Amino acid sequence: MSRPRKDPRMERAAHLVPGGARPRFDLAATPATSGRLRRDPRAEERLALVPGTLRRRLDRSQRAPAVSVVAVAAPVEAEAAPRRVVIAEPAFLVALVPDAPGGRLSAHDRQLFGAARLLADAGGGAVLALVDGSSEELGAAGADRVLALPITGYDPEAKALALNAALAALDLRHVLFPESAEGGDLARRLAALSGEPFFAGAESLSPKAVTRAARGRRVEQRRAPPRLLSLAIDAIAPHAGSLHEALPVEFAFPETTGGALLSAEFIPADPARVSLAEADFVVSAGNGVSDLDTFRMLVAALGGTPGASRMLCDAGLMPRAAQVGASGTVLEARGYFALGIAGAPQHLQGVARCEHVIAVNTDLHAAMIERAGLAIVADAQKVMPALLRLLGEEGAP
């Protein structure tokens, strides 16, 4: 935030009453215009006051913000459409190859756009997105140009050959990849194919320097950004604030012949066999569950991966591999369904990265109830058969 600088001499001169032998100042007169409007803290407080409480309580977050004109003016500015940026004559191109699983940009892909904008905006360059299929969200993500790659199905070698042709012909200054399974594989294929210098897993990036960990994370390597880069996850903030045009670009890719890959077939995960660290949805039992047969049937019916708290594993009722928590497995799951688990701090550490938590527990004040998105204060032993019955009724017709 920048404020106009206060100039006391100017202010004094504004109060000067003209005429008369001696200089006279009328300090009560309001100065003409200072650019900054006055805040009225008392009025703001009156608005923030929560009515109907015995003790005086202020709630500054929930209500319409303050009275002052400045504060009213700011949201209007923010709500305006994002600034549209058109780069007609780019000085150079920064290309990026997002993973875009299922045609949608992942969080890592958006961070990649942030990094590409950082490199491009430093010298008037443009960001070129090399994607499999066209997408609506590329302009808002920060792409100035979009080039569709002629790839169908899983064929990384053909994709690398197409990228190599584009790299040679389009004079790309940098090509950025996400350091994910697919993006990292593609980046290394392209690096081996083109012989260009490659910087794997950059952890910080600026137009002048990139850094990465090397030699078992004991050494940090640093250099100017080379032509091929792969970016570690959660290193750079995604791009926001301006809308770019995402103009389609034409490019004649060379014909590729079939590679050594004879067939590729996707096998969805089997939740019953997948390890806890990789599981997407975990159904977990704690000390509040005594009927483990019903629990296993419920896990199978919900299509989840079975987990357990330390209590059950110590008692030998569930295998040690199923233990969730600090001394068991730290989950990366999207959903966690806790049955009869109070939520010891060590258990909550294992659940910390789960997006959605559902808890069933008899104790209203349990930590797991507080953590859950849907919390049910009830006996898990009674809820489990009810769930099974309901699933059975739904499956029957």
Partner 1 sequence: MRIALLLSAGRHRVSGRPAPVPVELQALRLAADLAQTHGGQSGGTVTGLHAGPEIGPLTDALGHGLGHLVHLRMPAEADPAPALTAALEAGGYDLILAGRSGQGGEDTGLLPYTLARALGRPILADAAALAPGAEAGTLSVEQALGRGARRRLVVRLPALVTVHPAAPAPLPFAFAGLRRGQVEMREAAPSAPAPHEVEERPYRPRPKLIAKAAAGASAAERLKAATVAASGGGKLLVDPAPEEAAREILAHLRALGLIAPR
**Is the distance from CB of 186 to CB of 160 less than 8 angstroms?**
yes
Q: Does 204 bind partner 1 (CB under 8 A)?
A: yes
Of the residues 154, 168, 314, 392, which one makes contact with partner 1 according to CB under 8 A? 154
Decide the pairing of beta strands 210-214 and 204-205: antiparallel
The residue range among 15-23, 51-59, 86-94, 329-337 that interacts with partner 1, by the rule CB under 8 A, is 329-337
The residue range among 7-15, 47-55, 123-131, 379-387 that interacts with partner 1, by the rule CB under 8 A, is 379-387
Interaction residues for partner 1, span 331-350 (CB under 8 A): 334-335, 337
The residue range among 17-25, 29-37, 90-98, 216-224 that interacts with partner 1, by the rule CB under 8 A, is 216-224
Q: Does 375 bind partner 1 (CB under 8 A)?
A: yes
Q: Tell me the two tokens of residue 365.
A: 């004040």
As a whole number of angstroms, the distance between CA 364 and CA 356 comes to 19
Decide: residue 205, CB within 10 A, 0-12 exposed, 13-18 middle, 19+ buried.
Answer: buried
Q: Does 57 bind partner 1 (CB under 8 A)?
A: no
Minimum Å distance from CB 319 to partner 1?
15
Q: Does 251 bind partner 1 (CB under 8 A)?
A: no
Q: Does 58 bind partner 1 (CB under 8 A)?
A: no
As a whole number of angstroms, the distance between CA 128 and CA 122 comes to 15
**Is the distance from CB of 78 to CB of 111 less than 8 angstroms?**
no
Q: Phi/psi of residue 147, each to 5°?
A: -125, 120
Instruction: Count how many residues are written for the chain.
Output: 397
Minimum Å distance from CB 145 to partner 1?
21
Q: Does 281 bind partner 1 (CB under 8 A)?
A: yes
Residue in 378, 293, 373 with CA at minimum distance from that of residue 335: 373
Interaction residues for partner 1, span 257-276 (CB under 8 A): 259-271, 274-275
Q: Does 169 bind partner 1 (CB under 8 A)?
A: no
Q: Does 111 bind partner 1 (CB under 8 A)?
A: yes
Residue in 128, 218, 109 with CA at minimum distance from that of residue 173: 128
Of the residues 166, 175, 198, 308, which one makes contact with partner 1 according to CB under 8 A? 198
